[in-house]
Structure 1
Amino acid sequence: MLGSLLPEIHIAVLKSTDILPSLPDAMPLVKGKNAVFITGPSRTADIEMTLSIGVHGPKEIHVFVTRN
C-alpha cells in the first residue's frame, strides 16, 4: 500500500496486547515482501523549492486501543 493511497482520515482499532515495544520486535510479524511505515507528515520541496508538509498520506490519524 502506498502512503498516498490512504484515506484522508485514517482510523485504526487495535488490542493493547498487539502493541510491541520496538520496530525490531514487530519485523518478524510482517507478512509479504513489502512493508510501508508511515511515521508522520511527509515533507517535500519538489515544487518550486517550496517546502510543503503533509502532501502524502492521511491528514488525521485516530488510534483506538481496546482492552483484550
Structure 2
Amino acid sequence: MAVYFGMLDALLAAEELPEEYKDRCQDILCNDCERKGTTRFHWLYHKCGTCGSYNTRVIRSETTTVPDCSTSS
C-alpha cells in the first residue's frame, strides 16, 4: 500500500483546489488505526495524520474556513 499511498500523495500535491475550498477542513475517522483527526478538504482522498493511510471516512465537514488544518487529533 505504501506505493499506492505515495502516488496519492503526489496526486494531491499537484492538484490545485478552487479558492473557496482551499482553507476548508474535514474531520475524519481512520479505518486502519481507528483514530479521529482533521485534514484539508478534498473531493475524494483524506489522509490520516496518525498512520498515513487513506483508508478513512469523513465524519464531519467544517463549514467555515480555517487557516491551518492540523492532521492530529
TM-score, normalised by the number of residues in structure 1: 0.25
Q: Kindly indicate whether structure 1 or structure 2 has the higher relative contact order, using CA contacts under 8 Å at least 6 residues apart.
A: 1
